[in-house]
Amino acid sequence: MQIQEILNKAQLNAEEINFLLNISDEAELDLLFRKSAAVKQLFLGRSKNKILTIQFSNYCENSCLYCELREESISVKRFRLTPDEVLEKIDSIFNSGITNIILQSGADSHYDTDMISYLIYKIKKEYEVELTLDLLQRSFDEYRAWKFSGADNYLLKFNTSNSGNFSLFTQENKLDERLNHIRYLKRIGYKICTGNIIGLPHQTTEDIAKDLLLIKKLKPEMILNTPFTPQQFTKYQKSPKGDFNLLLKATAVSRLLLSKSNIIIASSSNFFSIDEKKQLFEIGADTLMLEPLAQRELKNN
Ligand code: SF4
């Protein structure tokens, strides 16, 4: 396969994407990154957006095997903020460069439909920003109620398009069910943010190529591909972290597949160095997710 021939195609298939993900030759990498940078420039210019993430609870009723927040974990200090505490925190940090606020929690039913609706209503009344909910899978009735309250976007990742691996890591949900939720959210008017994890245990580049094609099929307005980060006291704590070069290539391919979608650089400061963030911006990403506020404060205590 010739790289130039692939880059000239309007549609890419899984085999061609897998080829791009496996490039190691510097000159070929340069061609891929130049092309994705040119697509970004053409459709989004030099735009750089900032998203403020407010993590208001780190309780979770799920038990994903790679996650230190899973329900039975005793290694994390748990916290929950009241709706009014959330509003105070937003007020204390908000600045005009922020284009989007993400309200984030684990799967935490402590926050019922009305509590979240109240938060949405107050935030949309006070700030001129898009509001994204990152509350994992909830009921279809709740999605509708929160849309009605003013929420703009919903972040729900599928993590992997390999259904066997999905069930291995995330026991409470099934891949088909997750995809139905994402499609439903889109159908009722949310702009959606979705993506995969790069570097999951047992993952192949063929899997990632299929993930990227699934992202294209779902047509999200925002894409979030995160690197796998082994977390303490989990089954996968000794697994290698996601390879940055592979993430770079996946980001470039995402830009080729969905030229107008926002591509978000994931939040945690330990994911990326400043240089790595710069590289991601250059080759196709356009939005930086700031580190979750509550998490940042916990580290300082
Ligand atoms: S649902 Fe999210 S927060 Fe909860 S255990 Fe799974 S990965 Fe962790």
Q: What is the number of the ligand 1 atom nearest to the C-alpha of 66?
A: 7
Residue 1: the pLDDT is 76
Residue 269: the pLDDT is 56
Least confident of 29-33, 132-136, 293-297: 293-297
73-91 residue pLDDT tens: 988 899 999 999 999 988 8
Q: Which CA distances in Å does 233 have to 68, 75, 301?
A: 7, 7, 22
Report whether pLDDT(301) > 50: no
Instruction: Give the range of the structural domain holding residue 45, as residue numbers without chain letter.
Output: 11-300
How far is residue 168's CA from residue 232's CA, in Å, rounded to a whole number? 18
Q: What is the number of the ligand 1 atom nearest to the C-alpha of 170?
A: 6
Q: Is 70 in the pocket of ligand 1 (CB under 6 A)?
A: yes
Find out whether 159 and 170 touch, Cβ atoms under 8 Å: yes
Distance 120 CA to ligand 1 centre (A): 22
Radius of gyration of the chain (CA): 19
Report whether pLDDT(290) > 50: yes
In a domain, 52, yes or no: yes
Report whether pLDDT(156) > 70: yes
3-state secondary structure of 57: strand
Question: Pick from 298, 291, 268, 301: which is nearest to 81 by CA?
Answer: 298
In a domain, 6, yes or no: no
In a domain, 210, yes or no: yes
Q: Is 136 in the pocket of ligand 1 (CB under 6 A)?
A: yes
Cite the DSSP H helix spans in 80-230: 83-93, 113-126, 140-149, 163-169, 175-187, 205-218
For the residues 243-247, what does the mean pLDDT come to? 96
Q: Is 60 in the pocket of ligand 1 (CB under 6 A)?
A: yes
Residue of the CA atom closest to atom 2 of ligand 1: 106
3-state secondary structure of 238: coil
- Between strands 191-194 and 197-198, the pairing is unpaired
Question: Pick from 239, 229, 237, 245: which is nearest to 202 by CA?
Answer: 239
Distance 67 CA to ligand 1 centre (A): 6
Q: Is 62 in the pocket of ligand 1 (CB under 6 A)?
A: yes
In a domain, 5, yes or no: no
In a domain, 2, yes or no: no
Q: Is 156 in the pocket of ligand 1 (CB under 6 A)?
A: no
Cite the DSSP H helix spans in 13-103: 14-21, 26-44, 83-93
Number of compact structural domains in the chain: 1
Distance 275 CA to ligand 1 centre (A): 29
Find out whether 153 and 221 touch, Cβ atoms under 8 Å: yes
Report whether pLDDT(12) > 60: yes
Least confident of 106-115, 265-274, 277-286: 265-274
For the residues 264-278, what does the mean pLDDT come to? 83
In a domain, 4, yes or no: no
Residue of the CA atom closest to atom 5 of ligand 1: 70
How far is residue 297's CA from residue 301's CA, in Å, rounded to a whole number? 7
Confidence band, pLDDT 50/70/90 cuts, at residue 272: confident
* Average pLDDT, rounded, for the chain: 93
Distance 143 CA to ligand 1 centre (A): 19
Q: Length of the chain, please? A: 301
Residue 299: the pLDDT is 46
Q: Is 195 in the pocket of ligand 1 (CB under 6 A)?
A: no
Residue 171: the pLDDT is 84
Q: Is 227 in the pocket of ligand 1 (CB under 6 A)?
A: no
Residue 282: the pLDDT is 95
Q: What is the number of the ligand 1 atom nearest to the C-alpha of 136?
A: 1
Work out the percent of the chain whose per-residue pLDDT is above 90.
81
Q: What is the number of the ligand 1 atom nearest to the C-alpha of 71?
A: 5
Residue 268: the pLDDT is 61
In a domain, 3, yes or no: no
Q: Is 106 in the pocket of ligand 1 (CB under 6 A)?
A: yes
In a domain, 1, yes or no: no
Q: What is the number of the ligand 1 atom nearest to the C-alpha of 68?
A: 8
Q: Is 294 in the pocket of ligand 1 (CB under 6 A)?
A: no
Confidence band, pLDDT 50/70/90 cuts, at residue 218: very high
For the residues 133-137, what does the mean pLDDT come to? 97
Confidence band, pLDDT 50/70/90 cuts, at residue 300: very low
Residue 41: CB atoms within 10 A of its CB come to: 12
In CATH, what number is assigned to the domain containing residue 276? 3.20.20.70
